[in-house]
Amino acid sequence: MLIDSVLLRIEDSELPRLEMPPPHPRPRRPSAPVPPHQDHPTPLLRLEIQDLSTAGAHSFLASIEAASVLEDAVHAVTDLLYPGQYHEARPGTRSVTLVLHSFGGVAYTHGKALDDDHKEIHLSTDYIDSIKPNRLKSEIKGVIVHEMVHCWQWNGCGKAPGGLIEGIADWVRLRADLSPPHWKRTIGDRWDAGYQSTAWFLDWLEDKYGPGTVPRLNRMLKDIEYDEKKYWRDRCGLHKNVQELWKEYERWLEGEGKVEKDGSENQEDGGTTEGASGATENDIAATSEKVGSEKGEKGNGEGAEYGKYHNEPQKAESELDNGWTELSSGEDDLQRRDSEIA
């Protein structure tokens, strides 16, 4: 059977009208600032191991992925010390080389003689070998972060107290959540005792005066000679001298019940670190580190050392061939530390 097909003509006016969607608007730029580690190029990062046969070198390679650890350390410094408006003040460090070799002490950092924009972090394989296995990875990361700060921080044209330089470095380590378990807040005799003692003081200032306080302290050490009277009250805008701030911090510690007496740090968790990590505040207060060579006195923290404390604080500093100082430890220090944390 043939079925005729009937074609129905539909007038254009009878077709449904389709509404076209409006053009998609262009996405706006995010109003939040770009994180510092995305805004700044990472410098060239290198690893040099002078003797692969050492136990410390074996432990390092077995526990640390050097490329990511070094890059994370750079990000920690830029995020914490150069956020927002301070990122333009970041020094022009172009490369950082981590050098592992055997020497007494823990670590030290300096710029190369021909070009100070190229930094070297020296880390002792002897020290690495002495760290307990459960603390190995975190301890190495913490040391590298501290040393990485010295590759980027300012030093008031070489006039800033060594305790402030080291305190800022340990503050970054503290805020990066890499502090050893035995770091404790203590009341000491001096605000610039250095290392974790000063780091906790700076941490209190950051909480009291708001985010960006410690970055501002670092920024005010750029291209200007450190003058204690002008620095804290005027340049940094704290409107008090540092001794007043220190006394206020001590009262806060006592009122909050957060204070422990000097030398009472609990080291049972093991794994001491450089400088202050295993030392009492009196040990550290007796040391004064040189934080720049003659070439670098007007630059950033070149030449800053991060060394192990010594049994006799008054003899803690040993002069290196390049003119910087190193806080070094002998076998008696390592044995004493091992017995304390065993």
- Rounded CA gap, 255 and 252, in Å? 5
Is pLDDT at 319 greater than 90 in this prediction?
A: no
pLDDT above 70 covers what percent of the chain? 63
- Classify the phi-psi angles of 21: left when phi > 0, otherwise alpha if psi is within -120 to 50, otherwise beta: beta
Is pLDDT at 101 greater than 90 in this prediction?
A: yes
CATH assignment of the domain containing 132 = 1.10.390
Instruction: Kindly report, residue by residue over 190-219, the tens digit of the pLDDT.
Output: 999 999 999 999 999 999 999 999 999 999
H or E element: which one contains 339?
A: helix 331-341
Residue 24, domain member (yes or no): no
Residue 317's pLDDT is 34
Residue 2, domain member (yes or no): no
Residue 26, domain member (yes or no): no
Residue 11, domain member (yes or no): no
Under the banding of pLDDT at 50, 70 and 90, the label for residue 39 is: low
Residue 22, domain member (yes or no): no
Is pLDDT at 296 greater than 50 in this prediction?
A: no
Residue 186's pLDDT is 82
The reported pTM is 0.70
**Of residues 96, 288, 300, 141, the one with CA closest to residue 218:** 300
Residue 13, domain member (yes or no): no
The answer for residues whose C-beta is within 8 angstroms of residue 144's C-beta and 6 or more apart is 69, 70, 73, 98, 121, 123
Residue 260's pLDDT is 57
Please state the domain count of the chain: 1
Under the banding of pLDDT at 50, 70 and 90, the label for residue 17 is: low
Domain that holds residue 186: 39-341
Check: CB of residue 198 under 8 Å from CB of residue 191: yes
- Rounded CA gap, 33 and 39, in Å? 9
Under the banding of pLDDT at 50, 70 and 90, the label for residue 5 is: very low
Q: What are phi and psi of 96, to 5 degrees?
A: -135, 125
Question: Mean pLDDT across the stretch 2-29?
Answer: 45
Check: CB of residue 130 under 8 Å from CB of residue 334: yes
Residue 149, domain member (yes or no): yes
pLDDT greater at residue 112 or residue 13: 112
Residue 104, domain member (yes or no): yes
Q: Is 288 exposed, middle or buried (0-12, 13-18, 19+ CB in 10 A)?
A: middle
